[in-house]
A and B are shown apart, each in its own frame.
Chain A
Amino acid sequence: MMASLKKPRSANLARTLPYEMQQSLGIKARATDCITRDVANKIDNKHAITETYGVTIEQVQRYLQRIRQHPLRPEKKAIEIAQKKAEIAIETENKRTEEHRTRQANVSEVLDKVFGDLAKCEPDLWSHRAFLMLMGLAYEKLSTNEDELSTEELVKLTKALGDACKVQPKVKTDMGVRQKGQEQTDPIPKKFAEIVQQVYGTNFNETEDPREGGVGG
């Protein structure tokens, strides 16, 4: 009996307490804390323990002390598991962020290729809501991995394009206000026409109908 008390080897060392001793002490063998608490409660009954099992209460206390300090104590293990879980969660989170950022970089490349140099749209194209809206939608769709435009979005886009066509904007530049008909230094990227055609399936030709701002139907 003493041999098993001297060499604690696992977290469930509580179970190595002799069954009779557990019964006598009225403790649950599975929970170390329970043992500690219960033994502490019954510590005044030391004579009974010694008489029944031939061990002193000091020996039992030493044994319990050893359990408390054991590296594989269940409580300690639970903390380690929780820490590991938190680390894994952070790693997963970082991985997702990394993936999202890679996607953002790709979106940036696509937008740059499709819409041309974005610097061109600032500030000259701020009033061209259609351009910005289209670019924004492209960004949103690409970055959220959706591939279809909803009807509502198409309506929004149509309205914006319609507004842009009706009101020929006075574009503010560093040189002052530029009126319609004045020479423009290509404020809309060339591929914009292609994009509009792809979205609407209609022509986009500035030379055909300049009164309507270049959007044909």
Chain B
Amino acid sequence: MITPLPPGIQLEKVDDRIMTLNVGPQHPGSGHMRLIIKVDGDYIVSCDPDPGYVHRGEEKMAEYRNYIQNIPHLERPVIHDSCNILYPYCLAVEDLLGLEVPERAKYIRVIASELNRCVYTLYWLAIYGIFLGHSTMFMWPVGDREFCIDLLEAMSGARVTHAYFVPGGVRNDLPANFEERCLRQIDYFEKRLKQYEDIFYQNPVLKQRTEGTGVLSRMDAIRLGTTGSVLRSAGVDFDVRKKEPYDVYDNLDFQTQVLKEGDSYARSRVPYLDMLESCRIIKDALKKMPKSGSVRTKLKPNPKGGNDEVYRRVESGRGSLGMYVVSDGKPEPYRVKISVGSFRNLICMPYLLKGEKLGNMPAVYWSLNYWPVEADR
């Protein structure tokens, strides 16, 4: 007797010529996800991404905790970019509860989220480097990341999972001498970034490997709804910080980085250019920040939102990150949806890998700035 298959499992016929490869989920270059790749010789015929190995049900968990209890666990999908994933949540809850954020807290938030963008991008750059066989590009960013982490540790007390943002401001004020320390660090960091350009981005081997690989056209980038560096490397000028400025981004001096090529090289270069802009933003914010003042609006215990819903988005290290919070008048949110850049960019993976050589898979995959844990939530 044949045991019936559980729902969801499908059988398929196998072609002699086509071979199916499971890349992942044990992280041999795929992150914590599986890519079901079919190859004809050396060329990829089709690719079926299979995420979900690190799905933790953050959205479900958020329905059982009140607005403040949700802070530490909602940042778990991207612990390297935790300020940026809490940012839209805090903005949404502030809208729901009608909270005003003090001016100084707005600047501190911007500084923290830009530092966090650097931490994330350096980590991603390290992985991108090592998977292309460039081991120096693994060592350098991981080393430089420590300085940014030290700054964030001084701000929040934690190295990676900061839980620094709260609805109504930030958890605590900046430490003494932070400004001086931060400026010194940023100066050093900008010098280092120039060296990255020389050793990595102008490297002829890297260029040969990534230029013209996995090209995404402008129209496809729009049609597939991609976001972040994937979108901006394909020639679309869209950055939430510029288009829908939140907090004090409209006061600050920076530019959106856009490239036209849409290949792996351009996709890997946009986050690097963003880091340079982050340095500019931090310096500008430190200059314009009020030197003293409150950093947190006091909340009532167990605050309740009305019968309302809010969708707020910010620009994270991987693109637009939206939080959709539905409230039904209770202290807990009725529904929280996290719309993340990684999940939105996942859709273009089958299109980009089709027709590529299998050896170019890591170059395309990691250039998408994809973070499996965030995509699964």
Question: Is chain B a partner of chain A in the same complex?
Answer: no
Q: Report which B residues bind A (CB closer than 8 A).
A: none
Q: Report which A residues bind B (CB closer than 8 A).
A: none
